[in-house]
Structure 1
Amino acid sequence: MAFERALSRYDINHFTHPSLNALTIEASQPGIHSIKYGSGNLDFYVENKDAKTTLVLFHAAVPPRVNTYPVFQGLTITQNLKCNLIFVSDPVLEMNTNLGWYAGDTLRRLQDDLPKALSKVLTNFRSHEHLVFFGPSGGGFAALYYSRLFPGSWAISMNPQTDISKYSPRAVDSYLNAAWRGLPIEKAPFHHSIIDSYRKDFRNHIIYVQNLGDRTHVPRHLLPFLEATQENRSKTALFAGKWGLGHKPAPGRILSEIFRQVISSNGNWNSITSLQDADVTSTASDISSRSQKYIKSFS
């Protein structure tokens, strides 16, 4: 899959920065910020709305109909939200593979560098107090990974992979060949699973949005995550929905409502756990039974 760099699809100001160390973004500079990163760029789409909450958004695998980068998914669903916005385009798109989990490549250790870059942006948001990460699928892995590195932050992760090695072999091999010279995932120097990281105590909170009709992501990704975090179950609010068979996202109205509730909470986790659809008690076994029953209803 070949991608071309094209900023013209976004009708907004464009700023360039010579390096991560030189990155500075003033409140008066909303738009796309391209940071020289290795032989390519790390691209942010930034909107500072002088809000207390900042939402960082990661994209999922780029569909075949899209052949340009950078990619900023979620612009429409977030346009009316009262929060600051930072959309991040995965630099791996420059390597002509459509999914990279924001895990970097041989010359660019994004899992080390991105937290530093985000911290630089956040220091220029004077009203910023609460940090939230969002991503679907592969971007959901990124939301879980990076949120853990920012104590006190929240992750909204929709149908995420929690262990990249358990995802589609074709997609994983495409990424490894493009970014890590074909190294086996166990030998490539990046974190491909967040299960062990979350098995220990963690200082962030998670809103896990999962379609119960997903035959692969429930058993391979959600259930191991719930098992690993059982001792800290109250830190994960599970929103499990019945949205059809397969890797189906939550309907926009549901996702929009979650965003609004998170923003209006002002960092109060109890306000999220008290929501009608928030589940902070069900075990992996409970969810497995519900998922299997729902999937069987289609046969």
Structure 2
Amino acid sequence: MEINIEYTRGISKITAYVSDPASQDADEYAFYLMRKSGELLPVKVAVGWYSTQRSHSFNIPIIKGHYYIICFKKARPDSEQSRVISDHIYVEDFSDRKVPSKVYVYADEREFFNTREFHNGTHYVTLDAVTLSFKIVNKQTETCFVSLAAAAKRDGTSDPIFTGVGLSKQIESSSILVSDPAVHADPALTLGWYAGNKNCELQLDLPRYINHILCALNAVRTILFGSSGGGFATLFYSTRITNAIALAVNPQTSIARFHAHLVWDYLKSCFNVNKSKNSLDSVLSKHRVQYSLVPFYKRLGFLPKIVYLQNRSDWHYEEHLMYFLKSLGVNIQSEPQNVELYLDSLYTIVGRTWGEGHVPPPKELIVDLIRELEGDPNYWAAQGFVKNKEQMIKVVSGCKIEAENER
């Protein structure tokens, strides 16, 4: 059995053809599209399940790398598999992907940073190590909403994952939705905290790209939004994104304090690290991941402006919010109530009627908070959170869903 592949530069499709002189009518073949990028382990990008067809075509995701196809053969349903592996091809040209409406592909960072106007649509920056993906809507506003994704339910595809599409339609501000490139690159990975991988120090690099888009959109204020794992990224990047207020929902405040198996999944996918008896703190530190927010803030010497929403019945309340406050040195006299202000720049909003466990607040509350922030630039002023505390309480108390649930 032999396998050959057909690929034309600039056409994002690859086809495998199997030659099998010993083939019988009942024989079945399956195909895996694989990619090897830099120092990372190969990842299974897509699958063509068993059938009697001896050829299969795949669409190549907008990610540079060495691609190859593995073909598996089953002579009978209960027989052992045999397999054959194709040659590798390097894919770096995605010219045909520019054809669909509102899709923009940049061959490298130089082309991206030379761009001074970003049209509405999905933008891909194809770097050697990763592909950065942004969904942009320019409403020509001074405030921009930037959304970072939480853990994703994977369906085996390599499409970028954006969250906040619905929110962006209900607010006045321009929006930039950002896909996590580590999750985009590995169809089996559910969460990457926007913390990068072995090929890319994303925590250093990503702010340059987001800030360039913000500058091109003429945005002077940023609402940085994320939930859970995306909430961690929101709290982290709020120190590096232009004039940002973080709006974080049930966030992790230390990656090492999250579900260990998901952290090890991330380390395996992104750093080729197998699970061991070593502490997650030490392993993350070894790979230069900024994984804990309080030490990071203390090194910077300041606390960004944060609106921190936390469900009271979520285990994140004790493990992340209270840990976060105590680590910041907050003298907590009593349990945080509906809206509290700490250190002049940290609102906490604790919900007791949102549902059981790790569930977000009603969407109406999030929309109301975004509208409040985008409608009042004073929140960005030096003492803006202090002066606007009563107004923030009114917004939370006045949310229709919250008010109804309190009755």
Alignment correspondent of 1:297: none
Alpha-carbon distance in 1 for matches of 2:327, 2:303: 15
Instruction: Check whether the contact 2:210–2:241 (CA below 8 A) recurs between aligned residues.
Output: no
Alignment correspondent of 2:268: 177
Q: 1:185-208 CA distances to partner (integer Å, 9 max, x unpaired)?
A: 232211111121234642520000
Instruction: Check whether the contact 1:210–1:238 (CA below 8 A) recurs between aligned residues.
Output: yes
Alpha-carbon distance in 1 for matches of 2:234, 2:199: 22
Instruction: Check whether the contact 1:152–1:204 (CA below 8 A) recurs between aligned residues.
Output: no
Relative to structure 1, the CA distance from residue 32 to residue 78 in structure 2 (aligned partners, 3 Å threshold; closer, same or farther) is same
Alignment correspondent of 1:260: 371
Larger radius of gyration: 2
| Structure with the larger strand share | 2
**Percentage of matched positions with identical amino acids:** 26
Alpha-carbon distance in 1 for matches of 2:204, 2:141: 27
Alpha-carbon distance in 1 for matches of 2:193, 2:293: 12
Alignment correspondent of 1:273: 389
Alpha-carbon distance in 2 for matches of 1:244, 1:80: 23
Relative to structure 1, the CA distance from residue 36 to residue 278 in structure 2 (aligned partners, 3 Å threshold; closer, same or farther) is same
Q: 1:55-92 CA distances to partner (integer Å, 9 max, x unpaired)?
A: 11100000245744211111012213111111100011
Residue 247 (1) aligns with residue 358 (2): yes
User: What is the count of residue pairs matched by the alignment?
Assistant: 275
| TM-score, length-scaled by structure 2 | 0.63
Q: 1:67-122 CA distances to partner (integer Å, 9 max, x unpaired)?
A: 44211111012213111111100011212311000000001111011011112112
Q: Per the alignment, in what secondary structure is the counterpart of residue 222 of structure 1?
A: helix
Q: 1:212 corresponds to which letter in structure 2? A: R
Relative to structure 1, the CA distance from residue 194 to residue 203 in structure 2 (aligned partners, 3 Å threshold; closer, same or farther) is closer
Q: 1:221-257 CA distances to partner (integer Å, 9 max, x unpaired)?
A: 1112112334662210111102222111111111111
Instruction: Check whether the contact 1:150–1:204 (CA below 8 A) recurs between aligned residues.
Output: no
Give 2:285's match in structure 1, choosing from 177, 180, 186.
Answer: 186
Give 1:119's match in structure 2, choosing from 203, 211, 217.
Answer: 211
Q: Per the alignment, in what secondary structure is the counterpart of residue 105 of structure 1?
A: coil
Relative to structure 1, the CA distance from residue 206 to residue 121 in structure 2 (aligned partners, 3 Å threshold; closer, same or farther) is same
Alignment correspondent of 2:124: 34
Instruction: Check whether the contact 2:254–2:320 (CA below 8 A) recurs between aligned residues.
Output: yes
What is the Cα deviation at residue 278 of structure 1?
8.2
Relative to structure 1, the CA distance from residue 204 to residue 39 in structure 2 (aligned partners, 3 Å threshold; closer, same or farther) is closer
Instruction: Check whether the contact 1:212–1:240 (CA below 8 A) recurs between aligned residues.
Output: yes
Q: Relative to structure 2, which stretch is displaced further, 47-56 or 267-276?
A: 267-276
Alignment correspondent of 2:167: 77
What is the Cα deviation at residue 33 of structure 1?
0.6
Instruction: Check whether the contact 2:222–2:242 (CA below 8 A) recurs between aligned residues.
Output: no
Alpha-carbon distance in 1 for matches of 2:258, 2:303: 27
Q: CA RMSD in A?
A: 2.5
Instruction: Check whether the contact 1:152–1:203 (CA below 8 A) recurs between aligned residues.
Output: no
| TM-score, length-scaled by structure 1 | 0.84
Pairs within 5 Å for 1:188-207: 188-199=287-298, 201-202=301-302, 204-207=304-307
Q: 1:189 corresponds to which letter in structure 2? A: R
Alpha-carbon distance in 1 for matches of 2:192, 2:61: 19
Alpha-carbon distance in 2 for matches of 1:146, 1:241: 25
Instruction: Check whether the contact 2:307–2:349 (CA below 8 A) recurs between aligned residues.
Output: yes
Q: Relative to structure 2, which stretch is displaced further, 195-204 or 30-39?
A: 195-204
Residue 212 (1) aligns with residue 312 (2): yes
Alignment correspondent of 1:292: none
Give 2:145's match in structure 1, choosing from 29, 44, 55.
Answer: 55
Residue 18 (1) aligns with residue 129 (2): no
Q: Relative to structure 2, which stretch is displaced further, 131-140 or 116-125?
A: 116-125
Relative to structure 1, the CA distance from residue 2 to residue 223 in structure 2 (aligned partners, 3 Å threshold; closer, same or farther) is farther
Give 1:104's match in structure 2, choosing from 196, 207, 229.
Answer: 196
Instruction: Check whether the contact 2:228–2:250 (CA below 8 A) recurs between aligned residues.
Output: yes
Q: Relative to structure 2, which stretch is displaced further, 261-270 or 135-144?
A: 261-270
Q: Per the alignment, in what secondary structure is the counterpart of residue 21 of structure 1?
A: helix
Instruction: Check whether the contact 1:199–1:228 (CA below 8 A) recurs between aligned residues.
Output: no
Higher relative contact order (CA 8 A, sep 6+): 1
What is the Cα deviation at residue 219 of structure 1?
1.4
What is the Cα deviation at residue 32 of structure 1?
0.6
Alpha-carbon distance in 1 for matches of 2:359, 2:310: 9
